[in-house]
Structure 1
Amino acid sequence: MKKLVFRSGLRWKVSLAIAAVSAMVAVALSLVVHNAARVSMIDNSRDVMNQRLMVAQTWYEKSGISQLFNAKVDDPKLPEPLKKEAARGLRATYVDDSGPGAPEVWASVPLRDGKVLSSHGRFEDRFQVLKDLDRALIIGSTAVVLGGIALGLLIGDQLSRRLRKAAMAARKLAQGDSEVRVRDAIGGRVQDETDDLARAVDGMAEALQQRLEAERRVTADIAHELRTPVTGLLTAAELLPPGRPTELVRDRAQAMRTLVEDVLEVARLDGFAERAELQEIALAEFVARRVRMVAPDAQVTVVRDAFVSTDPRRLERILGNLLANAARHGKPPFEVTVEGRVLRVRDHGPGFPEALLKDGPSRFRTGSKDRAGDGHGLGLTIAVGQARILGARLTFRNAESLEEEQGGAVAVLWLPESAPTNTGSFPVIQVPD
């Protein structure tokens, strides 16, 4: 069962993180400010109500009139906590916050005659300030969150841009552009962890390039040294008297010579020094002529012709290797299809092995048991290398994956619309569904 994966950009992750932290801080500060302001207003309302009651008490004791500041004697609505405090002979205040709107503030004081003088009221104007404060806190918190998102986008975009530049430079390194350096690609004056990563990638790339170059030189030197004795061996074999042993010697000498030439070609391709010599050709006519020379039994189908700018010698090498691989490991009929800039070579054999479909061609690996045969596994490797020089893309698949009735291996060559780069890097090709 495949896991559901959500992919999002780094700048959005950073902005959301900053926005979340900003929101939590804003909410926390808003609650603290709101509660502190409310407590202060309630305490102030208690003091004001208590002062009013003191004035009303003085007026009542002098005139016997209790209506000042809405004061009442033995008010039946007096809350129980104030009744208990009055029974103890204490002056007290009480806040009833159970109803909507501003809380109701009570104040009570026991009189000399045993009665209780009390007053109550709601300070709507005072608590309206608290509503205005809450509104200001909401607006301020929203502004802080939006500012945090903008700041996160700015910071995340800078970091994401540097990482994208580093990834693009790393891809160019992987495609063989040895002149690219990740640190130079990301640029910038401020150094951070991205620069450390870029330097590490550059160091790793240089080490790998040195190692690969050393291996390539060793391979090329060995193949070059073998070329002379193998050529002499093949010449000497031509001087042997006719017979079955002579044919075997000639055959093995020729196979060894082909192997040496293929190894030299692979070494040259690995050096990324090869360049395409471009010519404008009609693809359908070129393919039909080359197929008749290499594999006369193959069927050529032209769905749509196209004029392409490519290297005919390298394109012929790719086509010949694909047809040779189909003849060696597949079964007839062999089909070559030209559809615009797309060239397909198909056989009706058991198909490519899973290892090749997954990892691509590997030198000196001839495939699985059901496609085993002669050869050294260099044909498809050379075809892929030559396709890279042309700026093309060579893919491999089996006919079953295309939901066709019959099986077989299918090699598809996607020729680019523009000329290849200096390193023969892959162009961006939209593959139809």
Structure 2
Amino acid sequence: MRGYFRRLVTARVDRVGIGAGLRWKLSAAIAVVGALVALVLSLVVHNAARVSMLDNARDLADERIMIAQRNYELSGRLNFPNTKIDDPRLPGELREKVEAGRRATYVADRSGAPDIWAAVPLKNGHVLSLHSGFTDRSSDILTDLDQALVIGSIAVVLGGSALGVLVGGRLSRRLRKAAGAANRVAKGETDVRVREAIGGVVRDETDDLASAVDAMADALRLRLEAERRVTADIAHELRTPVTGLLTAAELLPPGRPTELVLDRAKAMRTLVEDVLEVARLDSASERAELQDILLGEFVTRRVAAKDPDVTVRVVHESEVTTDPRRLERVLFNLLTNAARHGRPPIEVTVEGRVIRVRDHGPGFPEGLLAEGPSRFRTGSADRAGRGHGLGLTIAAGQARVLGARLTFRNVRPAGAPDGEPAEGAVAVLWLPEHAPTNTGSYPVLA
């Protein structure tokens, strides 16, 4: 049940999709938006300033051409700079307006600074024109403005990037805390609250996510606890009638029917005891009673008493602190699984704190290798002819109480493809370097 709860919560946490570069993505997004805004504003300000300067230059040229016109009409001479009579370079559009009897100005765009023209018709039918360019002062002002706009744009981009890093970093830290707390919940730490783990004074969407995960975890916990209680109650209620059935079967007269009834009654009693044990392990109330033992000697004696045909090899002896009763339960369940679903020879290897149990059968089913042991699921038909799927579930649960790690794999020839039949199954029990505490120890499954 704990593994089921862990898979459910972990699957939902994975869907959150917390990217490792959230702060950098947010910073890049702000920088790009800031750059676009700065570019648009710079173009608008540059064009507005240029148009304003050109309008001022045209107004100035218009004032000058009127002064030059009065001076020419009074004195008959051109004594104003940059003025000419019937200038052949006069733009055609401006000439048409003047010939229509209008005073006008004109801006001729060319590479570099624009040309400013002003023209007015004279009484004698000629055209008086003034030709000037953009003043150096105006060009310098526009250049300085462009430089200021460039510097401002760079400052906006850098400032936006820094802001994105700060905001994204805060959001990323909160999401990482939420993911870490959710993973702790998935491992069975029922007292962890994601909302409390992320902390913070300001409420945002992260708090909503944390509250949703907490609510989901509470709902799953209540549902699994209800299922566990129902399972335990049913098994407990079945214990008495099953015991009575077994006692009554032993009173039957000898014969083949009696043997069949006794065999099924014993199998039912074993099933009820296994279900009760699974329920106790799911409740996380089991605690290890620790003793110091020599692991190789312990395994050798227990395996010899269980099945003398099993080969035990002690590669390296080691003294461990563990619960011998629970360790024996794990070892016997692994041997029973190997004898029931595998093929001989069955080999047990002890190397330091590691115990390996190998058979030479068809291997573990892919579902067990991917998701771990599951109650009442014995896998594929070639390895599931008998049993209820509780043996490995109990072994994994007792290993957690010991603070140990139980892994499963299949043995295949070197370089063989995945579809190649296995040459055996190997269950590996990794005992911890330090003994579990009195509150239990639940290591992460690799």
TM-score > 0.5 by shorter chain? yes
1:55 equivalent in alignment to 2:71: no
Residue 331 of structure 1 aligns with an amino acid whose one-letter code is R
- Tell me what 1:155 maps to: 167
Alignment of 1:424 with 2:441, yes or no, is: yes
Query: Distance between the aligned counterparts of 1:121 and 1:334, measured in 2?
Result: 101
Q: How many residues align?
A: 424
Matching residue's letter, 1:104:
D
The Cα of 1:78 is off from its aligned counterpart by 2.2
Question: CA–CA distance in 2 between the matches of 1:60 and 1:341?
Answer: 114
Within the candidate set 104, 112, 116, 1:105 is matched to 116
What's the CA shift for 1:59?
Answer: 3.9
Query: Aligned partners of 2:89, 2:44: CA distance in 1, in Å?
Result: 34
2:193 partner letter: R
Contact 1:226 / 1:260 at 8 angstroms: preserved in 2?
Answer: yes
Q: Say if 2:358 is the partner of 1:358.
A: no
Distance in 2 between residues matched to 1:401 and 1:136, nearest whole Å: 71
Query: Gaps spanning 5+ residues in structure 2: where?
Result: 1-16
Provide the C-alpha distance between the structure 2 equivalents of 1:284 and 1:71, rounded to a whole number of angstroms: 114
Closer, same or farther: CA 156–415 of 1 in aligned 2, 3 Å: farther
Does residue 81 (structure 1) correspond to residue 93 (structure 2)? The answer is yes
The residue type equivalent to 1:412 in the other structure is V
Shift of 1:267: 0.6
Say yes or no: does 1:18 pair with 2:34. no
2:314 is aligned with 1:263:
no
Superposed counterparts of 1:16-415, under 5 Å: 16-66=28-78, 68-99=80-111, 101-113=112-124, 114-234=126-246, 243-279=255-291, 283-300=295-312, 309-338=321-350, 342-400=354-412, 403=415, 407-415=423-431
Query: In structure 2, do the counterparts of structure 1 residues 76 and 210 end up closer, same or farther at CA, with 3 Å as the change threshold?
Result: same
Q: Is the 8 A contact 2:61 2:118 kept in 1?
A: yes
Is the alpha carbon distance of 1:127 and 1:250 closer, same or farther for their aligned partners in structure 2, counting shifts above 3 Å?
same
Q: Is the 8 A contact 1:165 1:186 kept in 2?
A: yes
Give the drift of 1:340.
5.5
Percent of residue pairs bearing the same amino acid type = 67
Q: What amino acid sits opposite 2:117 in the alignment?
A: W
Contact 2:316 2:350 in 1 (8 A): yes
**Structure 2 CA distance for partners of 1:304 and 1:20, relative to 1, 3 Å:** farther
Secondary structure in 1 matching 2:81: helix
Alignment partners' CA distance in 2, 1:90 and 1:166: 77
The alpha-carbon deviation at position 202 of structure 1 amounts to 2.6
| RMSD over aligned Cα atoms | 3.2
Q: Offset at 1:27?
A: 2.3
Which stretch of the first structure deviates more once superposed, 6-15 or 196-205? 6-15
Structure 1: state its 5+ residue gaps.
Answer: none
Deviates more, 1:107-116 or 1:239-248: 239-248
Describe the SS at the equivalent of 2:132: strand
SS of residue matched to 2:131: strand
Query: Which amino acid in structure 2 is aligned with residue 263 of structure 1?
Result: V
SS in 1 for 2:201: coil
Deviation (angstroms), 1:40: 0.9
Mean Cα deviation higher: 350-359 or 53-62: 53-62
By how many angstroms is 1:266 displaced? 0.2
Residues 78, 118 of structure 1: 8 Å contact kept: no
Q: Is the 8 A contact 1:109 1:118 kept in 2?
A: no
Distance 2:380 2:197 in 1: 42
- 1:410 is paired with a residue of what secondary structure? strand
Distance 1:375 1:83, change over 3 A: same
Give the drift of 1:329.
0.8
Q: Within 1, Cα distance between the matches of 2:445 and 2:362?
A: 31
| Secondary structure of residue in 2 paired with 1:69 | coil
